[in-house]
Amino acid sequence: MAVISYIDAVTMAIREEMERDPKVFVLGEDVGKKGGVFKATQGLYEQFGEERVIDTPLAESAIAGVGIGAAMYGMRPIAEMQFADFIMPAVNQIISEAAKIRYRSNNDWSCPIVIRAPYGGGVHGALYHSQSVEAVFANQPGLKIVIPSTPYDVKGLLKAAIRDPDPVLFFEHKRAYRLIKGEVPTEDYTLPIGKADVKREGEDVTVITYGLCVHFALQAAEKLAGDGISVHILDLRTVYPLDQEAIIEAASKTGKVLLVTEDTKEGSIMSEVSAIIAEHCLFELDAPIKRLAGPDVPAMPYSPTMEKFFMINPDKVEKAIRELAEF
Amino acid sequence: MAIEQIKMPQLGESVTEGTISKWLVKAGDKVNKYDPLAEVMTDKVNAEIPSSFTGIIKELIAQEGDTLAVGELICTIETEGSTADETPANTEKPAAPATEDQSKAVSEKEQGQKARYSPAVLKLSQEHGIDLSQVSGTGAAGRITRKDLLKLIESGNIPKAGQKVEPAPSAAPKADEMPASTARPEPAPAQGQPSANIPVVPGDIEIPVTGVRKAIAANMLRSKHEAPHAWTMVEVDATNVVEYRNSIKDEFKKKEGFNLTFFAFFVKAAAQALKEFPQINSMWAGDKIIQKKEINISIAVATEDALFVPVIKNADEKTIKGIAREISELAVKVRAGKLRPEDMQGGTFTVNNTGSFGSVQSMGIINYPQAAILQVESIVKRPVVMSNGMIAVRDMVNLCMSLDHRILDGLVCGRFLARVKEIIENISKSNTSIY
């Protein structure tokens, strides 16, 4: 099994799906000749040509809209938003059209589109290149939101998203692109959307998180293991709709739950996870549910000091776990 | 002026709550520091709460009859002239009181946290019948964590209501060593049990089981449950003791100011015999038996509605007079409700004066975790066939002994009783001094 980076897993999944199914095509800003600003689509233009790897104008609503239309006509578009921050002009297309068409047409129409977008901070990208936008879409039934943490999960989940009969938002942490490496099988496989994954077994404190924060939690857990604190880590992988069963099981296991997201705290994915635990696990809880999240300010700051203050890191996670363990 | 708070103090190691039996002050009263504020009854002892401040009683928060957890507010005191104390002018004040205050605050907080149970802890304690008041927590500020309970359950050393906490679960038997039928935790006995289904009709009086009564119930139950009791009795001719004591009792009372009781002779005889039979002066400790070096005799002292067992320490080193004095003092303390927890600690063997209320034979329950209890019955005049074949009227007394058959067997107890009998029967003015 080859060890590859997170972004190479993205490219691998798209390439394999395009090879497998001629209906799969890519569209987005600079995805063609340039191979994407992060090089996620590198080599695809050369391999599949301009008909299947389409450079679009700087108009996100058009990228989404064209993709949605093609999907409704039976194609399997993979639309790229250059940064998740820029998805806002396409929100109307995604929420009002893609999410609702199956319901609205009484199952006559569907919209099997994947919209990929790099999200997240810690790369000195400031406010237009650092945001987490998943919560904006996380109360829209009809949508699925996948946020993988490892290259293995990227490949399996992106393939599953492309084959999914309904719209999937696929958010990739841009800092994870070249930071996170892992073993990825060269053969074809998919992972189930809607299923969370236990990334580490533990007894004392449960951490539930997703995306890059999974790695922060794993690092913190490794450090805490030396002090005899055993941490259980659940990676949500799909943040909407949530894997309630896995959340309840993980929370009940230790009775002490830390929820970590890089997004701003109020109304985040973790607010919903917290509500699920509160609804189902009251008599298993041994401590108040604890959330570690970004501060409720409009955006990630540019100043490195302030960005560091905003971002989650292993030290913050470690401190929060320790507090819970000692509670 | 400042308002200070008086809280329920910790009146013993494992005491978690106390009942205000009587207020000794009322709002508006002026009190000095250390003045008694209220009488408090705990399941171990009755005590007075002293004032921590000098000032005016502002408000009595707790009512008589209220049972409060340790650390709960019972009243407030308005202290005088404390404004001056609080001004920064008072900076030459050493740092010590501040740290004292701090530690006090911390311990109060600890008490608060200990009694705050998470849903998971409450659920586990109910499922397994765990008496949380006896569990020590490892969480923040002494909070009991879910893990604390899981460890307890795993170890099988589940503290039921009325039992003492075993701080080191390692010594306790493991659940898997027990027979399957007993491995499952039983519901907590005694006060843990909800009221039995006894119909109450008008005219019946319901008396809540609290404080000392609760402790008696729990201790008796525990002893009967855990220690297999065996029983034996010897008949002792106490004629010599009776003659001796009656000949000096009036003079003794005049000279010493307290009564020379028969009981003192028996306690002394028991202490002396214990020295010769150290096996009897021992305790059951699970995987071992501990023979105690000190001979500390617990004596049972009854009040109208309760029973206390204060301790005569090192009874073997005391004279009959010394023992008589202690019996007298302890009885006075019990009746005045002034017994302190330390008066009741450290007993290694119990002598019970059942004769004082006319009993001639009784089966005592061992004062857990001691190995045996000796009941001194009434001295009664009876016709006895003497060794020379004559029938004589003698002062006879039965000595009854209950023994924990895990620790002791009949033989050693028989020898012990025979020795006590020998000592008693040979007491006389010529060979025994009470001093």
- Give the integer Cα–Cα distance in Å for B47 and A195: 62
CA B240 → CA A287, B142, B237, B246, B382, distances in Å?
71, 59, 8, 10, 14
Interface confidence, given as ipTM, is 0.78
Domain encompassing residue A7: 2-184
Amino acid at B29: D
Region B231-239 average pLDDT: 94
| A191, part of any domain | no
| A189, part of any domain | no
CB atoms within 10 A of CB B409: 12
- Give the integer Cα–Cα distance in Å for A290 and A275: 12
- Give the integer Cα–Cα distance in Å for B435 and B432: 9
Beta strands B372-385 and B301-302 are unpaired
Q: Do A285 and B143 touch (CB under 8 A)?
A: no
User: In the predicted model, is pLDDT for residue B348 greater than 50?
Assistant: yes
Question: B1-86+112-161+211-226: which CATH topology?
Answer: OB fold (Dihydrolipoamide Acetyltransferase, E2P) (2.40.50)
Same domain, A57 and A82: yes
Least confident of A245-259, B99-113, B131-145, B189-203: B99-113
Region B5-12 average pLDDT: 81
Q: How far is B187 from chain A (nearest CA, A)?
A: 20
Tell me which of B110, B114, B118 to substitute to probe the interface with A (most A C-beta atoms closer than 10 Å). Answer: B118
Looking at per-residue pLDDT, the higher value among B179 and A146 belongs to: A146
| A127, part of any domain | yes
Nearest CA in chain A to B150: A254
> Model confidence at B12, in pLDDT bands (50, 70, 90)?
low
Q: How far is B153 from chain A (nearest CA, A)?
A: 16
Least confident of A62-76, A191-205, B13-27: B13-27
Q: Give per-residue pLDDT as tens, A90-113.
A: 999 999 999 999 999 999 999 999
Region B225-246 average pLDDT: 93
Least confident of A240-254, A255-269, B10-24, B113-127: B10-24
Q: Give per-residue pLDDT as tens, A110-151.
A: 999 999 999 999 999 999 999 999 999 999 999 999 999 999
In this structure, what CATH number is given to the domain that contains residue A241?
A: 3.40.50.920
| A190, part of any domain | no
**Which helix (H) or strand (E) element contains residue B312?**
strand B311-312
What's the CATH architecture for B230-425? 2-Layer Sandwich (3.30)
> Model confidence at B195, in pLDDT bands (50, 70, 90)?
low
Q: Give per-residue pLDDT as tens, A17-47.
A: 999 999 999 999 999 999 999 999 999 999 9
What is the DSSP secondary structure assignment for residue A98, as one 8-state letter? Answer: I
DSSP string, B157-172: ----TTPPP-S-GGGS
What is the DSSP secondary structure assignment for residue B411, as one 8-state letter? Answer: H
In B83-145, beta strands by DSSP E: none
| Mean confidence (pLDDT) of chain B | 82
What residues in B contact A255, CB-CB < 8 Å?
A: 118, 120, 146
Region B363-379 average pLDDT: 93
Kindly state whether B145 is in contact with chain A, defined as any CB-CB distance less than 8 angstroms: yes
Looking at per-residue pLDDT, the higher value among B212 and A297 belongs to: A297
- For chain B, residues classed under CATH 3.30.559.10 are 230-425
- For chain B, residues classed under CATH 2.40.50.100 are 1-86+112-161+211-226
Confidence at residue B415, expressed as pLDDT on a 0 to 100 scale: 94
Total domains, chain A: 2
Region B174-178 average pLDDT: 40
Beta strands B297-299 and B349-352 are parallel
Same domain, A281 and A321: yes
Same domain, A255 and A299: yes
Nearest in space to A274 (alpha carbons), one of A208, A204, A202, A210: A208
Selecting from A204, A286, A326 the residue whose C-beta is nearest the C-beta of B120 gives: A286
> Model confidence at A57, in pLDDT bands (50, 70, 90)?
very high
Selecting from B122, B139, B146 the residue whose C-beta is nearest the C-beta of A326 gives: B139
Nearest in space to A117 (alpha carbons), one of A141, A140, A145: A145
Kindly state whether B146 is in contact with chain A, defined as any CB-CB distance less than 8 angstroms: yes
> Model confidence at B170, in pLDDT bands (50, 70, 90)?
very low
Same domain, A167 and A201: no
Annotated catalytic residue A215: no
Confidence at residue B180, expressed as pLDDT on a 0 to 100 scale: 39
User: In the predicted model, is pLDDT for residue B168 greater than 60?
Assistant: no
Q: Give per-residue pLDDT as tens, A266-288.
A: 999 999 999 999 999 999 999 99
Same domain, A116 and A34: yes
Nearest in space to B324 (alpha carbons), one of B255, B395, B413: B255
In this structure, what CATH number is given to the domain that contains residue A125?
A: 3.40.50.970
Same domain, A147 and A263: no
Q: To the nearest 10°, the Cα dihedral for B361, B367, B372, B376? A: -30
Tell me which of A286, A290, A321, A326 to substitute to probe the interface with B (most B C-beta atoms closer than 10 Å). Answer: A286
What the block records as the tokens of B128 is 């397994």
Same domain, A164 and A225: no
> Model confidence at B191, in pLDDT bands (50, 70, 90)?
very low
- Give the integer Cα–Cα distance in Å for B82 and B95: 17
| A163, part of any domain | yes
Region A38-59 average pLDDT: 96
> Model confidence at B162, in pLDDT bands (50, 70, 90)?
low
Q: Which of A161, A184, A207 is the last residue of a domain?
A: A184
pLDDT > 90: percent of chain B: 38
Same domain, A213 and A180: no
- Give the integer Cα–Cα distance in Å for B427 and B433: 9
Q: Which of A124, A150, A184 is the last residue of a domain?
A: A184
Looking at per-residue pLDDT, the higher value among B165 and B398 belongs to: B398
A142-160 burial code (b ≥16 CB/10 A, e <16): bbbbbbbbbbbbbbbbbbb
Give the residue carrying structure tokens 């053969």: A187
Nearest CA in chain B to A256: B146
Q: What are phi and psi of B63, to 5 degrees?
A: -95, 160
Same domain, A283 and A151: no
What the block records as the tokens of A100 is 């609702």
Q: How far apart are the first and last CA of chain A?
A: 42
Kindly state whether B150 is in contact with chain A, defined as any CB-CB distance less than 8 angstroms: no
> Model confidence at B190, in pLDDT bands (50, 70, 90)?
very low
> Model confidence at B44, in pLDDT bands (50, 70, 90)?
low
Q: What are phi and psi of A211, to 5 degrees?
A: 70, -145
Region A246-258 average pLDDT: 97
Burial level of B29, CB count in 10 A (0-12/13-18/19+)? Answer: middle
Q: Do B140 and A327 touch (CB under 8 A)?
A: yes
Give the residue carrying structure tokens 């806002």: A88
pLDDT > 90: percent of chain A: 98
Q: Which of A137, A162, A184 is the last residue of a domain?
A: A184
Same domain, A142 and A228: no
Of the segments B157-166, B173-182, B203-212, which one has the largest average pLDDT value? Answer: B203-212
Region B391-397 average pLDDT: 94
> Model confidence at B172, in pLDDT bands (50, 70, 90)?
very low
Same domain, A219 and A170: no
**pTM, whole model, 2 decimals?**
0.54
User: In the predicted model, is pLDDT for residue B96 greater than 50?
Assistant: no
What residues in A contact B121, CB-CB < 8 Å?
A: 286
User: In the predicted model, is pLDDT for residue B84 greater than 50?
Assistant: no
| A33, part of any domain | yes
Same domain, A176 and A145: yes
Least confident of A206-215, B45-54, B259-268, B274-283: B45-54
Of the segments A155-164, B77-86, B116-125, which one has the largest average pLDDT value? Answer: A155-164
Is residue A40 within 8 Å of A116, Cβ to Cβ?
Answer: yes
